[in-house]
């Protein structure tokens, strides 16, 4: 969008949000103009915490469906809106509640840890949810002698095995965007830019291999972790292995440093379904309300509350 087109629309969104008593939450992968109009921009964990703490009556979730659903489960008395109902997630779609029930039946007594990128029905079958921001701490909170089923992201699961030293049973799901960032992308960049730090999201297919580089300049981080790391690092140049929407936030909040995507193809079409126009329509026309069946929400809430509580 051109700057001239953004300004009146952004003003309209802010006015409607005030009128509606709404807070606008946006994920780090949202398009720049949506990030810029939001009250809070962050990763999955930060967004869940922000939703849990808000006084606003209405939450407009600029992200994908499972994120809005997570807020709706945490806050059954508030209205949660998502500007486009088709904003799904290929990773969340990689396991169903039925599949999880069958897996649990094969491993009675195992603790189920689900990544937050899952449906409400899967969360209802889960003991602990986690995000990339606290997955290690969640695994470490579970007694050593308990068997753990981890779903649905295999690359995050493999990375967790390495950093915790725990053996996990891992569901073979993946995010098509992060799985598409290949070890070759990383190698090409790291050899061409020996002065750059490498920031890698644990959903990447290359995350476990990156750790094996052991070069001291590779850091496996959630999207929020990337922003914090770049802010506090004395280094000037960073290669980023995640969805490219994070670059807007990095440029904005860490000015003067250099950030490059290791793969320009790493674009989540679901995240990009949310536009400023749809956000305006959502607030103006009260759509789309995200509601979770109360019985499912009741069973899913404990796992999400545990996630929000573990740092
Ligand atoms: P973060 O929680 O690190 O922002 O990741 C969310 C996500 O969907 C990654 O693809
Ligand atoms: Fe889902 Fe991948 Fe998009 Fe994140 S980037 S929302 S995991 S499809």
Q: Cβ(117) to ligand 1 under 6 A?
A: yes
CA 266 to chain centre: 14
- What is the β-pairing status of strands 218-220 and 22-27? unpaired
CA dist., res. 217 & res. 117, Å (int) = 28
Least distant ligand from the CA of 26 = 1
118: Cβ below 6 Å to ligand 1? no
pLDDT in tens, 68-100: 999 999 999 999 999 999 999 999 999 999 999
Is the confidence at residue 211, as pLDDT, over 70?
no
Distance 91 CA to ligand 2 centre (A): 6
With cut-offs at 50, 70 and 90, classify the pLDDT of residue 286.
very high
Read off the pLDDT of residues 155-174 as tens digits, 9 standing for 90 and up: 999 999 999 999 999 999 99
203 lines ligand 1 (CB under 6 A): yes
If you take atom 3 of ligand 2, which residue's CA is the nearest one?
A: 268
- pTM of the predicted model over 0.75: yes
223 Cα to the center of ligand 2, angstroms: 12
pLDDT band for position 209 (cuts 50, 70, 90): low
Query: How many other C-beta atoms are found inside a 10 Å radius of the C-beta of residue 39?
Result: 16
So what's the pLDDT on residue 170? 98
Q: Which of 26, 91, 93, 131 has most ligand 1 atoms within 8 Å of CB, for mutation?
A: 131
Does residue 265 surpass a pLDDT of 90? yes
Residue 6 confidence (pLDDT) above 80: yes
Please give the number of the atom of ligand 2 that sits closest to the Cα of 92.
1
Ligand 2 atom 6 nearest Cα: 89
Q: Atom 5 of ligand 2 has which residue's CA nearest to it?
A: 268
The residue contributing the CA closest to ligand 1 atom 1 is 43
pLDDT value at 207 more than 80: no
pLDDT in tens, 113-148: 999 999 999 999 999 999 999 999 999 999 999 999
Would you say 242 and 220 are in contact if contact means Cβ atoms under 8 Å apart? no
Q: How far is the CA of 203 from the centre of ligand 1 (A)?
A: 8
pLDDT, position 108: 98
Residue 246 pLDDT exceeds 70:
yes
CA 130 to centroid of chain Cα atoms: 10
Using CA positions, which residue lies closest to atom 1 of ligand 2? 89
Q: Ligand 1 centre from 16 Cα, in Å?
A: 28
Average pLDDT of the chain is 95
Q: What is the pLDDT of residue 179?
A: 94
């Amino acid at each position: 969008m051109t700057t001239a087109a953004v300004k009146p629309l952004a003003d309209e969104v802010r006015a409607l949000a005030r009128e509606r008593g709404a807070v606008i939450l946006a994920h780090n992968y949202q398009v720049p103009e949506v990030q810029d109009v939001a009250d809070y921009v962050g990763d999955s964990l930060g967004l869940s915490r922000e939703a849990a703490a808000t006084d606003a009556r209405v939450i407009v979730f600029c992200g994908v469906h499972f994120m809005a659903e997570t807020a709706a489960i945490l806050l059954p008395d508030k209205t949660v809106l998502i500007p486009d109902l088709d904003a799904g997630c290929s990773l969340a779609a990689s396991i169903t509640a039925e599949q999880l029930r069958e897996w649990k039946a094969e491993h009675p007594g195992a603790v189920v840890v689900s990544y937050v990128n899952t449906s409400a029905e899967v969360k209802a079958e889960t003991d602990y949810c986690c995000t990339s921001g606290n997955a290690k701490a969640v695994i470490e909170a579970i007694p050593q002698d308990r068997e753990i089923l981890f779903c649905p992201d295999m690359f995050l699961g493999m990375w967790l095995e390495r950093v915790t030293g725990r053996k996990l049973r891992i569901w073979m799901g993946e995010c098509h965007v992060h799985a598409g960032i290949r070890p070759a992308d990383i190698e090409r960049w790291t050899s061409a830019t020996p002065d750059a730090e490498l920031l890698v999201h644990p959903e990447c297919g290359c995350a476990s291999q990156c750790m094996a580089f052991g070069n001291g300049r590779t850091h496996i981080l959630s999207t929020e972790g990337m922003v914090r790391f770049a802010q506090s690092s004395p280094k000037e140049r960073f290669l980023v292995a995640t969805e490219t929407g994070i670059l807007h936030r990095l440029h904005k909040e860490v000015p003067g440093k250099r950030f490059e995507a290791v793969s320009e193809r790493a674009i989540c079409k679901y995240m990009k379904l949310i536009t400023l126009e749809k956000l305006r329509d959502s607030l103006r026309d009260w759509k789309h309300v995200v509601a979770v069946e109360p019985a499912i929400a009741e069973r899913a809430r404990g796992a999400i509350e545990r996630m929000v509580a573990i740092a």
